[in-house]
Amino acid sequence: MAPIPRRFYNLRHGRPDISDSMLLNSNNQSEFTGAADVVVARAGIIGLCYAIHLKNISPHLEISVFEKSSSPTQKIGESTLSSFSRFVKGDIIPHDYFLRLFGLKDGLQFYCIDERGLSVTSEDIGGLDLSFQLDRRMSELFLTMWAQKIGINVYHNVGTDFKVMPEDAFPISTNGDKYGVAAPNHENGTAMNSFMAPQVLLDDASHSLGTSVEAKLVCDATGFSRRLTSKFGKREMFEGCNCDAYWAYFQETDVKAEDRLDHWNYPATKHICFPEGWGWFIKLISWEKSPLSNLMDLISYVIDNAKRNVAASDIPSTEVLSEMFDCPFEFITSIGWAVRNDHKFPDNLEEYGATESERKFTYFKRKYPTLERLMDNSYALLSNYYGKKTYFVRKSMAFQSPVVAGEGWLAIGNSAGFTNPLISPGINAGIGGAFYAAMLTQEIFAAPEESSRAVMKKSANAFQAYHHDFMMPRLNQMNRYWYSMFRDHRLFEAMIPSFWAVGVQEVDSRYGASFVPEDINWVVGAGTADFQTYSKAV
């Protein structure tokens, strides 16, 4: 195995004034030049997966990623499915290396409680597929350092904005759901000139990189802030009610597993379903108390051994790695409710807490005795675990951007749209969007200069059709299916097995494979024609 490196620990202790962003940026393999073939705005999971896959299939491209945060931080969205595991295996390392860094997850587990919340009326035990529960700080730090290892420059503490011209959108066609499936772009085109990307403006807190960067193509992965997509239209909201989310972080008490709900100790993402929506319980390994420099040394050690083809089984355990690099970890649980926003709250809501997020979180906990007993007996609140807040909120989550591609740019992840945290489409469907965007980017750069604008235009239309007309409407239809099911346990009992049959299909035996182009249209089950036909019928 590789020797135990302490490069980043030594760098920080040798220079106490070095900032987190300086420490991270020191890991880039080349200097900032003011230009790149592709610029990715934000270094979240989806943006980094796009950059990594693009570098794997087009190693000659110069890719720069800019992240406004000074270092990776925790955010919501911890649960993954086989699409993430398969991407990791195909584009990064065998997924069993990740068992040293993240909690194991075996599928999805559902409990349906009655209208008064007195008991569990139905249960569906996990076992869907094997994947991971992600500490987002650790996952984004790992992906950042892997990207840097393969030659992608990732800059922290550098915000991005864009200057666009009206023609940057192209006259995007909307082909509708039927033609929105992802397909390779085989048209060479006959354009007379090359395409132009939006101008990328930098807000560099260190004042070391300048105020702009030249890019041939831009990928907007800025999430809900929609730094580029917002310039081409306001959010499109789906018909019907929307959903809000309220969450906090907890630690399990010493209550025996058998004294909780049946099968509660099974390592799945747990869902408790009630008429207004559902609640998640996600147990994960948290590295929040580990110093950044120590974590970077730990990750470097894992990456270096993986690159040297050391078997994952020969890598020290999580506990030993923690001791080797002085990186404390602990198990915590993310708990939250994703509920319909047409629910009428009582007038005395102020009695439930000090802030809106605390009040509404506590309201649903108290409304259903099954929830209240479970949480009061088994979970202790972690106050201010991630900074100054204890309770968090995100409102009106479901939307899509009207334009997600144009001349010299594509948008992926939450910048292009989002529906609901149920089955975590932000990561698990977002992987498909990032994968497809990278495939199209490869084709765009492979086109001769005289036809590049035509190829760019066709690629933008193809991605618009896929993301706007195919992926998002189907995810929304799946969301409606689930929320209808939560309102009656009889529907729950009938519709859960149906989803496994017509949506998930063979995923249980495929989690160990690599992510391939044929997987792009799966969309966590919502992309299958059988599921769409069935869900619309019921």
CB atoms inside a 10 Å sphere around CB 166: 7
- pLDDT, one tens digit per residue, over 201-256 is 999 998 889 899 999 999 999 999 999 999 999 999 999 999 999 999 999 998 87
Q: What DSSP string describes 489-535?
A: HHHHHHHHHHHIIIIITTGGGTTTS---GGGTTTGGGTT-HHHHHHH
**Which amino acid, residue 436?**
Y
Q: How many CA atoms lie within 13 A of 302 on its CB side?
A: 32
Q: What is the CA radius of gyration of the chain?
A: 23
Tokens of residue 510, six digits: 């495929």
Q: Where do we find the tokens 């408790």?
A: 272
**Average pLDDT of the chain to the nearest whole number:** 91
Pairing type for strands 277-286 and 153-156 reads unpaired
Catalytic residue among 89, 105, 360, 365: 105
- 351 has pLDDT over 90: yes
Tokens of residue 274, six digits: 């009630």
Instruction: Assign 190 a pLDDT band (cuts: 50, 70, 90).
Output: very low
Q: What is the mean pLDDT of residues 66-89?
A: 93
Q: Which of 177, 234, 182, 224 is nearest to 473 (CA)?
A: 177
Catalytic (active site) residue 270: no
Crossing angle of the two packed helices 292-307 and 136-149, in degrees rounded to 10: 50
* Cα of 19 vs its chain's centroid, Å: 26
- pLDDT, one tens digit per residue, over 282-300 is 999 999 999 999 999 999 9
* Lowest-pLDDT choice from 23-32, 123-132, 222-231, 305-314: 123-132
Tokens of residue 220, six digits: 């907007």
Q: Which fold has domain 88-134+243-291+327-396?
A: D-Amino Acid Oxidase; Chain A, domain 2 (3.30.9)
Rounded to an integer, what distance in angstroms lies between the CA atom of residue 427 and that of residue 509?
A: 20
- For 460-476, give the secondary structure using H, E and C: HHHHHHHHHHHHHHHHH
Rounded to an integer, what distance in angstroms lies between the CA atom of residue 464 and that of residue 229?
A: 12
- pLDDT, one tens digit per residue, over 497-518 is 777 777 666 555 566 789 999 9
Number of helical (H) and strand (E) elements in the chain, helices listed first: 15, 20
DSSP, collapsed to helix, strand or coil, labels residue 453 as: helix
Rounded to an integer, what distance in angstroms lies between the CA atom of residue 207 and that of residue 226?
A: 24
DSSP, collapsed to helix, strand or coil, labels residue 113 as: strand
Tokens of residue 477, six digits: 């239809």
Pairing type for strands 409-411 and 212-220 reads parallel
DSSP, collapsed to helix, strand or coil, labels residue 233 as: coil
**Which amino acid, residue 81?**
L
N- to C-terminal Cα distance for the chain?
A: 56
